[in-house]
Amino acid sequence: CDMKDMDSVRAAKEKLANAIAQALAVGVPESDLQDAEIRRKKLHNTVEDLKGSIRVFCRIRPLNKREKDLGDHMVTKQTDPMTLVVGDNKDHKFMFDAVFTPGKQEEIFEDCKDLVQSAVDGYNVTLFAYGQTGAG
């Protein structure tokens, strides 16, 4: 997909969403904004389609106090926003849609919020998280 196309569709969606919010703030009835809301949903889902239906994020938790006290060290290194190297071997490189080391919940939500919006708009979405419970 052409990133310029996706950026222009995203910008149009955000501009329309802001206009809807401003209209509601000055008292325009929601019923008068139905056409604009339908267009916003279509723009939103166009952005999601351009991104692709499957996205894989990786979050590496920091070492906890116990692990540090035992002398453990990180075996992963983020080399750019989408690449993770495991161990000292540069051949063990993995590509993701985003890498968080460790990443705050807010940062991760920023990348997932569009999927949440799609669910609110009535579309089917799936978020799958894998990891040890309480691991971060």
> Residue type for 66, please?
R
Contact at 8 Å (CB) between 37 and 20? Answer: yes
Residue 98, φ and ψ in degrees, nearest 5: -160, 145
Residue 118, φ and ψ in degrees, nearest 5: -60, -40
Give the whole-angstrom CA distance, residue 2 versus residue 47: 11
Q: In this predicted model, what pLDDT tens digit does every residue of 73-129 receive, in sequence order?
A: 888 888 888 888 988 877 788 888 888 887 788 888 888 887 888 888 887 777 777
Give the pLDDT of residue 69. 94
Q: Using a cut of 0.75, tell me whether the model's pTM lies above it.
A: no
- Reply yes or no on whether the pLDDT at 3 is more than 70: no
Give the pLDDT of residue 135. 56
DSSP 8-class letter at 32: G
HSE-CB for 120 with a 13 A CA cutoff: 10
